[in-house]
Amino acid sequence: MMPTAIIDTVGVLSTAGALFIVSAGLTLVFGAMRLINIAHGSFYMYGAFLLTTIAGAGTGLRFWLAVVAATIVVALIGAAVELVIMRRVYDSEHLTQLIATFGLFLIFADLALHFWGDNSRTANPPAAFAGQVAIGGAVFPAYDLVVIAAAVAVGLGLWVLLQRSGLGWRIRAAVEDPETLQAGGTNLPLLRTGMFTMGALLAGLSGAIVAPQVAVAPGMDSSIVVAAFIVAIIGGLGSVPGAALGALIIGAAETIGTIVAPTWASSFIYLAMIAVLVARPSGLLGIPERRQ
Amino acid sequence: MTVARQVLQAVARAAAGARRVRASQPGGALAPPAARATGLAGVAAVLVAFGFLLGASSLLTLEEAVGLALFAVATNLLVGYAGLVSFGQAAFYGLGAYTVALSWQHYNWPFWLTFTLAPVLGGAAAFLVGLVALRARFLYFALLTLAFSQLFYEIAENQYHFTSGANGVFGPMVPSALAQPRAGYFFVLAVVAACLAILWKVTASSFGLTLRAIRENRARAEALGINVFRQELIAFVISGVFCSLAGTLFVVYSQSAYPELLDWQQSGYAVFMVVIGGMFTFLGPALGAVIYTVGQQFLISRTADWQLILGAVLLLIVLFRPDGLAGLADSAARWLAQRVPAVMRRGAPGSKAPPRVAPVASASEGEPQHAARVPGDERE
């Protein structure tokens, strides 16, 4: 009993960790720009595809460098998208923004088919974490620990950035009152470009990190963006701790659901989200949106 | 508020409240009712003629386009008229298709029974979803509707023993008479024409005006004693009914139902049709559906990149023509109508045509309706 519990816990944490990284990016962009980015899933998929391309069969240093390179490339794509398109629609209606990112989503999906074809790809985990780990009789993939560590590092990094730095102060102020902030001398467009780039970076990092665990294939953009929405909404759009909480809830619901009622597991997730939103329309840790 | 939005609103008033605009702008650019009726009759005649002239495969494409036109217009009742951006109308579309398909597969119910049952189920489902989703606003509403439609999708995908899962349901579930391309086409055309007539009545009624009032200024509508939630719920149910009916039409030309019909991307395509055609006109989304379907068929046979082109079109529209192609045609017509009389009356003092789009210096967020009145109104 005990070993299964450990395996399950590690599995939940690993699933939740990857979900947290990608959802944190989504929620940050929403918090800073009030923008729902459907193309966030594309960034995640590109992170995974780029990793398989750059890492190749490498399992040593090359793998880690590939994670970094894939993440940076995706961040650069994000920056370009922001500069060329997104900054033109910040003042538009929600519908316009949604449609712009939906258009990007379709374009990225098509281009991915050109670059990588429609076959499923796999990446090898790094040699140091390729095997199994045994803790108290429980055996689980060592690579799960890498994902968990990455999620913890991202979480701590974001907390320091947002709560303990001057830049974080500006980011939070940009959510509250962008005009006053700009009048105070902050370069708002630059800040927004930075936030959007960071969102893309987190999506790319998450995709690159999970690549050894999943089948990297077209369509993962669509499923992850829905999952990330759910996580971010349950936790409260705009809240990074909320994304962590939401990721844990979804990770647990998925794992438990798969054990209890496999055919209903994925439905549970949506029911959980609907239940949370009915009880707390702004999510668990979200702040109710003020009337504008 | 940006200029784009002001233009958008002005176009919205011109297109949606045609009667009022005509009254306040004599000699306005909008086509008079007689011309519009002629135009409609012309389109109908062409569509009927196509039914006799086209070959089977082209006819099927057109049939799909006509069916999707109903889906798009029903979606636009929410997106354009009520200002409720739903990313989950595919739930009701798929529900309609699955109602026909599953009743046939499991109970062998006749098509005509399920064809009438589907809109009822669609309305009931929309009522339940709306009760929950309409508690949320803006993005949360969009995401809640998306979540509900994904819930339907997961059920269709995973309850394999009942829904056949990802394979979907295939088979001769439609009366053999309707399975003929020509008969099927005329059936779909007739149903869609009847439904669009009903939806037109709905949008032109006081209920339709109430919806637009809510979209323009929710707080003021509430202050006037309008039960906003109730009106929005009614709109959501009506949309669900007709989306579901559009789903049954999908079965007529495809003889199948599968989970992708319920996917959020299917809802996205409906929004795409609305946007490309123009959300501030009644028939704009129908035009969008035709462009989408025919364009997709055309592109798929020539290039694998139709998604790329679809996405690029969306971006271009969003960046340059937020009122869609119908808006583009509208401004072209307006430009012409403004030029021709101006040329004809040249020389007469004070005959300059008033600007058709309000050149508003500033309009406060609080009262877009009145602040953006056309100055030329008083002059005329």
| Contacts with B314 from chain A: Cβ below 8 Å | 99-100, 102-103, 106
Residue B240 has pLDDT above 90, yes or no: yes
At residue A209, the 3 state secondary structure works out as helix
Q: What is the distance between the terminal CA atoms of chain B, rounded to a whole angstrom?
A: 27
- Residue A72: exposed, middle, or buried by beta-carbon count in 10 A (0-12, 13-18, 19+)? middle
| Contacts with A222 from chain B: Cβ below 8 Å | 263-265
DSSP assignment string, B87-120? S-THHHHHHHHHHHHHIIIII---HHHHHHHHHH
- Residue B209: exposed, middle, or buried by beta-carbon count in 10 A (0-12, 13-18, 19+)? middle
> What residues contact B3, with CB distance under 8 A and at least 6 apart?
none
Beta bridge partners of B281: none
CA gap A200, A216 in Å, rounded: 18
The predicted pLDDT at position B31 comes to 59
| CB A37 within 8 Å of CB A29 | yes
Nearest to B66 by CA among B294, B279, B257, B266: B294
Mean of all residue pLDDT scores within chain B: 79
The predicted pLDDT at position B11 comes to 38
For a pLDDT cut of 70, what percent of chain A falls above it? 97
CA gap B197, B216 in Å, rounded: 25
| CB A181 within 8 Å of CB A174 | yes
Residue A180 has pLDDT above 70, yes or no: yes
The predicted pLDDT at position B379 comes to 33
**φ and ψ at residue A238, rounded to 5 degrees:** 100, -10
Range of lowest pLDDT (B12-16, B44-48, B163-167, B240-244): B12-16
Helix (H), strand (E) at residue B257: strand B256-257
- Tell me, yes or no, whether B236 lies in a domain: yes
Scan residues 224-283 of B and list those with Cβ closer than 8 Å to A. 263-265, 268, 271-272, 275
Q: How far is B313 from chain A (nearest CA, A)?
A: 8
Contact across the interface for A96 and B318, Cβ inside 8 Å: yes
Domain that holds residue B189: 45-302
Residue type, A280: R
CA gap B204, A17 in Å, rounded: 52
| A34, A99, A230 member nearest B275 (Cβ) | A99
Nearest to B242 by CA among B135, B95, B102: B95
CA gap A156, A160 in Å, rounded: 6
CATH of the domain at B63: 1.10.3470
| Contacts with B142 from chain A: Cβ below 8 Å | 36, 94, 98
Label residue B27 by pLDDT band (50, 70, 90).
very low
Q: Is pLDDT larger for residue B213 or for residue B16?
A: B213
Helix (H), strand (E) at residue B256: strand B256-257
A273 touches chain B (CB under 8 A): yes
Nearest to B257 by CA among B267, B270, B248, B246: B248
A182 touches chain B (CB under 8 A): no
Residue B56 has pLDDT above 90, yes or no: no
The predicted pLDDT at position A262 comes to 80
Instruction: Note the pLDDT tens digit of each residue in A33-88.
Output: 888 899 999 999 999 999 999 988 878 889 999 999 999 999 999 999 999 999 88
- What letters, b where the CB count within 10 A reaches 16 and e where it falls short, cover A213-247? beebbbebbbebbbbbbbbbbbbbbbbbbbbbbbb
* Residue B288 structure tokens: 């969008």
Residue A285 has pLDDT above 90, yes or no: no
> What residues contact A116, with CB distance under 8 A and at least 6 apart?
A49, A52, A53, A218
- Measure the CA dihedral B148/B149/B154/B157, to 10°: 160
| Contacts with A94 from chain B: Cβ below 8 Å | 85, 138-139, 142
Residue B354 has pLDDT above 60, yes or no: no
How many contiguous H segments (helices) and E segments (strands) does chain B have?
Answer: 19, 2
What's the structural domain count of chain B?
1
Helix (H), strand (E) at residue B321: none
The predicted pLDDT at position A226 comes to 87
Label residue B346 by pLDDT band (50, 70, 90).
low
Residue A1 has pLDDT above 60, yes or no: no
B312 touches chain A (CB under 8 A): yes
Range of lowest pLDDT (A61-75, A160-174, A193-207, B279-293): A160-174
> What residues contact B139, with CB distance under 8 A and at least 6 apart?
A30, A34, A36, A94, A237
* Residue A277 structure tokens: 């939103």
| CB B276 within 8 Å of CB B329 | no
HEC profile for A126-174? CHHHCCEEEECCEEEECHHHHHHHHHHHHHHHHHHHHHHCHHHHHHHHH
Helix (H), strand (E) at residue A257: helix A240-260
Q: How far is B348 from chain A (nearest CA, A)?
A: 42
| Contacts with A278 from chain B: Cβ below 8 Å | 132, 135
A274 touches chain B (CB under 8 A): yes
The predicted pLDDT at position B325 comes to 66
Residue for token digits 């990330």? A228
Range of lowest pLDDT (A193-197, B28-32, B92-96, B350-354): B350-354
The predicted pLDDT at position A3 comes to 65
Q: How far is A104 from chain B (nearest CA, A)?
A: 6
For a pLDDT cut of 90, what percent of chain B falls above it? 36
* Residue B52 structure tokens: 């006799």
DSSP assignment string, B30-50? SPPHHHHHHHHHHHHHHHHHH
Instruction: Note the pLDDT tens digit of each residue in A231-248.
Output: 998 898 888 899 999 999
Strands B169-170 and B256-257: antiparallel
Label residue A2 by pLDDT band (50, 70, 90).
low
| Contacts with B271 from chain A: Cβ below 8 Å | 95, 98-99, 102
Residue A196 has pLDDT above 60, yes or no: yes
Q: Is pLDDT larger for residue A255 or for residue B227?
A: B227
DSSP 8-state secondary structure symbol assigned to residue B327: H
The predicted pLDDT at position B343 comes to 59
Contact across the interface for B85 and A98, Cβ inside 8 Å: yes
Taking residues A212-222, report their average pLDDT: 89
At residue B296, the 3 state secondary structure works out as helix
- Tell me, yes or no, whether B367 lies in a domain: no
CA gap B274, B312 in Å, rounded: 16
> What residues contact B221, with CB distance under 8 A and at least 6 apart?
B210, B213, B214, B228
- Tell me, yes or no, whether B54 lies in a domain: yes
- Tell me, yes or no, whether B149 lies in a domain: yes
